[in-house]
Amino acid sequence: MQISDKNREARGIALTAIICAVLQLAIAPNVGLGNGRANLALVFVATVALTSGGGRAVVCGFFAGLFYDLSTTGPIGLMALLLSVCGFALGGEGRNRLSGEFASGILLFVVADLVVNVGYGLGLMLAGQGGGLVDAVFLRALPGALLSLVCFLPFAYFESRIRTSGPSLGGGHFKRGL
């Protein structure tokens, strides 16, 4: 008899949220490329969307975006909107895209990463907090997208290789009834 752990996914999401929040507050402001910074809220939402999908990714996107907005000097609500839409778009199929199709999951993240970072850069420019178009896209959005991709790769590898196999899924330990 195999034992199913129904709270495993919720614990995994909570742990990923805590790790991303700590990294967003402690590391991301100090490590930059040009004017771009890594967006760990996007990494969290993409990880949830590509592994769980569905409405859970949209809710996580909203709250992660709100956390990002409150921890930066940008307009409140812009990243919440962008990450909610990103969670909806990436999690539309409601299945684990990282376990079987790792390369396509990374490609989906790259597209979403570019769209979110360019959208946020343009939103900052329209709100009067960024420079011109060159600063918003080439000095802020593209380097930020590259840093976010570098931060996403360990999470994607963990979700695709380590969490989808092993004894915690019943591969090595199970109880037999007498």
- pLDDT digits over 72-127, tens only? 888 899 999 999 999 999 888 767 777 777 888 899 999 999 999 999 999 988 88
- In this prediction the pTM is 0.84
pLDDT tens digit sequence for 124-165: 888 888 778 888 889 889 999 999 999 999 998 888 877 655
Cβ contact 46:159 at 8 Å = no
What the block records as the tokens of 89 is: 């778009």
- What is the reported pLDDT for 6? 63
- What is the reported pLDDT for 153? 92
- What is the reported pLDDT for 132? 85
Cβ contact 86:42 at 8 Å = yes
